[in-house]
């Protein structure tokens, strides 16, 4: 039995397997070497023909060659699998510490234009000696209306287009329709003199259009002290308008009506073309409102004002449509 020639063939196959470039050539070599029609298989089937004395030795040698060939095939398969794996790892590699060169500068985000306006407003009023107060967005009828001198029969309730929350008695709980309830909460908790501004989200059942959003932002101002007059109110508004829009911008008050202020006014700002633009409401705090908070109107007076922050940002940046603020289009927002 020419066992040594098998050994030589196996050694040759081993060499070919070691340099096989893909799984198909490994399979071809395996078929040649170990397949049903290979010499090795053929020799094994003919062992029975050998002299009984030679059989055992020939069988052992054939098996050794076979084991060696099988090991070589397995090694070739593993080698190819390993190199396929490392090629895949290299292709999928992510360098999480990589810094891109200057060709792709990092894009930094920034605060939303309405948030920027709110921050600037706070700065202006803090500079004038005010502190910043907050109140809840879900309010009771007491804070949103009654304490502000708007009893339930009052027609002004209808004009707020309030969004009610289905809790408690009907129309008892609501999303605040203005920031004025924060006036009440602050006066409940603090003794005068009081100088606060209260920015925050407010809600009305309005359909969104170019000048309205159902969820918008207001800022409330409240000053309570001794001997405060309408002149202090006008001066404060004028000062804030100039600080926010620029020294050349003027303000004016026009008589108006709010249940929680008496007298009441609307305030406008001047535009470069000489026209006036309405910004918000204001007035001297109504004595009933002071009494509702346990403050004696004979000793303390004050003024309050409120206006929309989104609208202010619209004017400042000359934006055509207030809905742009909630569309979250980066091409729009990145301009500010």
Site residues, ligand PHE (CB under 6 A) = 178, 180, 258, 261, 280-283, 304-306
Q: Which residue has the tokens 């008589």?
A: 255
Kindly state the smallest distance separating residue 179's Cβ from ligand PHE, in Å. 7
Nearer to ligand PHE, 258 or 300 (CB): 258
Nearer to ligand PHE, 113 or 306 (CB): 306
DSSP string, 235-303: HHHHHHHHHHH-TT--EEEEEEEETTEEEEEEEEEE-TTS-EEEEEEEEEEPHHHHHHTT--TTT-EEE
What Rg do the C-alpha atoms of the chain give, in angstroms?
43
Kindly state the smallest distance separating residue 248's Cβ from ligand PHE, in Å. 26
Centre a 10 Å sphere on the Cβ of residue 93 and count the other Cβ atoms it contains.
Answer: 7
Kindly state the smallest distance separating residue 148's Cβ from ligand PHE, in Å. 8
Kindly state the smallest distance separating residue 252's Cβ from ligand PHE, in Å. 16
Kindly state the smallest distance separating residue 245's Cβ from ligand PHE, in Å. 19
Nearer to ligand PHE, 224 or 304 (CB): 304
Distance CA 311, CA 331 (A): 20
Nearer to ligand PHE, 72 or 233 (CB): 233
Kindly state the smallest distance separating residue 126's Cβ from ligand PHE, in Å. 19
Kindly state the smallest distance separating residue 130's Cβ from ligand PHE, in Å. 14
Nearer to ligand PHE, 192 or 280 (CB): 280
Nearer to ligand PHE, 145 or 245 (CB): 145
Distance CA 253, CA 32 (A): 102
Nearer to ligand PHE, 113 or 280 (CB): 280
Please state whether 4 falls in left (phi above 0), alpha (psi between -120 and 50) or beta: alpha
Could you tell me the sign of the dihedral formed by the alpha carbons of 135, 136, 138, 140, in that order? Answer: negative
Strands (E), 105-238: 131-132, 138-140, 163-165, 173-175, 194-203, 215-225
Q: How far is CA 188 from CA 174, 183, 191, 227, in A?
A: 20, 9, 8, 21
Peptide bond into 193 cis (omega under 30): yes
């Amino acid at each position: 039995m020419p066992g040594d020639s098998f050994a030589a063939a196996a050694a040759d196959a081993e060499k070919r397997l070691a340099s096989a470039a893909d799984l198909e050539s490994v399979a071809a070599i395996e078929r040649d070497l170990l397949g049903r029609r290979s010499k090795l298989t053929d020799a094994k089937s003919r062992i029975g023909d050998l002299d009984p004395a030679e059989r055992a030795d020939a069988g052992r040698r054939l098996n050794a060659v076979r084991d060696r060939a099988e090991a070589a095939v397995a090694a070739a398969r593993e080698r190819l699998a390993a190199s396929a794996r490392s090629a895949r790892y290299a292709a999928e590699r992510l360098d999480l510490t990589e810094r891109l060169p200057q060709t792709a500068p990092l894009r930094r985000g920034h605060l939303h234009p309405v948030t920027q306006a709110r921050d600037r407003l706070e700065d202006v009023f803090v500079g004038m000696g005010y502190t910043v107060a907050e109140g809840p967005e879900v309010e009771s009828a007491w804070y949103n209306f009654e304490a502000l001198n708007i009893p339930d029969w009052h027609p002004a309730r209808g004009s707020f287009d309030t969004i009610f929350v289905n809790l408690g008695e009907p129309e008892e709980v609501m999303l605040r329709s203005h920031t004025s309830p924060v006036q009440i909460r602050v006066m409940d908790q603090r003794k005068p003199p009081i100088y606060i501004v209260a920015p925050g989200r407010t809600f009305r059942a309005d359909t969104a259009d170019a000048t309205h959003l159902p969820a918008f932002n207001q800022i409330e101002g409240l000053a309570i002290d001794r001997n405060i007059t309408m002149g202090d109110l006008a001066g404060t508004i004028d000062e804030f308008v100039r600080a926010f829009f620029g020294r050349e911008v003027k303000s004016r008050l026009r008589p108006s009506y709010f249940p929680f202020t008496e007298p009441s006014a609307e305030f406008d700002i001047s535009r470069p073309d000489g026209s006036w633009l309405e910004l918000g409401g204001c007035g001297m705090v109504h004595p009933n409102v002071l009494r509702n908070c346990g403050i004696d109107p004979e000793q303390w007076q004050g003024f309050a004002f409120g206006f929309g922050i989104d609208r202010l940002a619209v004017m400042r940046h000359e934006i055509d449509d207030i809905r742009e603020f909630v569309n979250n289009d980066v091409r729009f927002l990145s301009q500010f």
